[in-house]
Amino acid sequence: MCGIAGWVAFETDLTTRSETVDEMTGTMACRGPDDSGTWIRPQVALGHRRLAIIDLPGGRQPMSVRTPRGEVAMVYSGETYNFQDLREELLRKGHEFRTVSDTEVVLHGYLEWGDAVAERLNGMFAFAIWDARVDKLVMIRDRLGVKPFHYYPTRDGVLFGSEPKAILANPLARKVVDIDGLRELVGFTVAPKWSLWKDMYEVEPGTIVTVCREGIRERRYWSLEPQRHEEELDATIAHIRELMTDIVHRQLVSDVPRCVLLSGGLDSSAVTGLAAARLASLGEQLRTFSVDFVGREETFKADENWDSPDTPFIRDVTNLVGSTHQFITLKPEDLTNPDLRRAVITCRDMPVGFGETDSSLYLMFEAIRRQSTVALSGESADEVFGGYRWMHDPEAVNAKTFPWLAYRSPMSGDRTAFLAPHIRAQMDLDAYIDSQYASAVSAVGHLDDDNDHQRVMRVNQNLHLTRFVRMLLDRKDRISMAVGLEVRVPFCDHRLIEYLYNTPWSMKTFDGREKSLLRAATKHVLPESVQGRRKSPYPSTQDPGYALSLQQQAKEVIADRDHPVHELLDQDWLADIVQQDVSKPSDARRGIDRVLDMYHWLDLYQPTLEF
């Protein structure tokens, strides 16, 4: 896992711009604290920051190979879990290796198969290859978009980086945010290629972007395709169990300490059970970590989101599998520190407004990083197996919009209320969401004999796997890599996703509950309490001191009358919001988080606003 940056300029001598390349690469230091390197030629500059995971002494980058027709160089971020299989195949074809790293395997894979190497990779990755044989840059991103990848076209080439900050460090990139960027920031449709920053784009998941003198071209190498599911229920469960076991085994490969993020829910507990069994067979003990809040278990009050605290279920799992577990326990004052909020905004490059959800995740990852470099997560199981509550709500499923916006949730409230009236009118958010929804649905393929319900559910799952999951994957990657922790996501293995995408919804709910197939496939490694547990969201503090501190900070924003944030805010709304009860997660509390994020983001980035 690493951070990459680069610059291609067909009409500029980049050997004279090494200082700028170093600045771009330096912004990725958090993603790669172990090593740094650049590779500069007249038309191209590649930068790399390394977090050493596999082949600690041999995997340095940028990595290059000389061929009779020219040099081929690469910067790579991520992990290829089947690199050992590919290495054996390439050895049989006559390739010679100097290291045992997955990076070198991917580079030689490109030499053998060209950009079709992407189709052979099992993993999470974002990499760029400069092919001097034909003077072109090839940028490739993994199928689900686990690893971030951005680019910015220029007059004579392109800038690229793992994160926007790498691109923004180049003076050719303008720090401009227009109404289109702001619209998606609060729209939560996860529009393809979107970036908050004007003229910047994402490399789409499952896509290859090629840059040459003639311009920029895209080719999709992977997408969700409808297939007929032929297996009966028992065979389906057995196949999922076999897949999950193989996936977790592959993702445990590491030359540095690894662990599992354990929440006590079905998803992370399944990964924990499979990982613990594998490590036990190797004579090792698994380490697990979770986040908690001071006094949460003792003072917990059930509500519409949380039926119970996580800690009793976590103990049941650790007692069953024998892991060494640590609770990362946070205090309200930890979460409300403005410096922490600024750190989270910096790692995400935008004012998302997720508040304590992001802040607590940052603090947990920071604590874990002191003891481990790799962590496996249960992220994305809900999208793959059908776990979200709105997926089982007929009104949300059948609404002519994104189901996560139709269901009552933190994303479905009035997310523009904090903005000044003239900005809200300019956004026309409802029309934008309708347009994005229509575009997303039109891209979904169906089998000829799918009935209406099957079509609705296929659309439902497609939207989650091609849109919603990207938001959560970006969040987890950016926050974890801000502290140099690599988080792996077994449920994003494309083999599992392709299989489950085409498994009938009736099988996914065969026992009348959400995620029926995951529960059945992993019950052999789960305690009974977790098998019967209802889905619970990421934990939130219920301490009233947290809410009071938020309101006080919002009052300080009001008092700072000369700050540019006031040009964006609805002043009547702001005056009212600081008087409301925000002791529990609510639209008011989330509104304050958005205001505070916007306030600090403007200070940190000083963008030009074009709206």
Residues found in the chain: 611
Determine the Cα–Cα distance for residues 427 and 421; give it in Å rounded to an integer: 10
Give, in order, the Cα–Cα distances in Å from 505 to each of 259, 442, 459, 495, 516: 32, 21, 12, 18, 10
Cβ-in-10-Å burial (0-12, 13-18, 19+) of 87 comes to buried
CA distance readout (Å), 599 to 131, 339, 473: 43, 13, 25
Q: Which residues pair with 177 in a beta bridge?
A: 609
The phi and psi torsions of 179 (rounded to 5 degrees) equal -65, -30
Q: Collapsing DSSP states into helix, strand and coil, what is residue 136?
A: strand
Cα 98 to Cα 106: distance, rounded to the nearest angstrom? 13
Residue 201, classed as helix, strand or coil, is strand
* 149 and 141 Cβ atoms separated by less than 8 Å: yes
Q: How far apart are CA 544 and CA 439, in angstroms?
A: 43
Omega before 403 within 30 of 0, i.e. cis: no
Q: What CA–CA distance (Å, rounded) separates 74 from 65?
A: 9
Question: Do residues 386 and 509 touch, judged by C-beta distance below 8 A?
Answer: yes
What letters, b where the CB count within 10 A reaches 16 and e where it falls short, cover 220-239? ebbebebeeeeeeeeebbeb
C-alpha to C-alpha distances, 118 to 124, 222, 231, 556, nearest whole angstrom: 11, 9, 29, 50
Pick from 6, 1, 44, 42: nearest CA to 23: 6
How many other CB atoms sit within 10 Å of the CB of residue 10?
16
DSSP tag of 197: S
At 63, list the tokens: 């990595």
- Beta-bridged to residue 407, according to DSSP, are none
3-state secondary structure of 228: coil
Residues carrying an active site annotation: 2
Cβ–Cβ < 8 Å for 78, 126: yes
CA distance 471 to 485: 19
- DSSP for 459-513, written as a single string: HHHHHIIIIIHHHHHHHHHHHHHTTT-EEE-GGG-HHHHHHHHTS-HHHHTTTSS
Separation between Cα atoms, residue 335 and residue 362, nearest integer Å = 10
CB-based contacts of 298, cutoff 8 Å, min separation 6? none
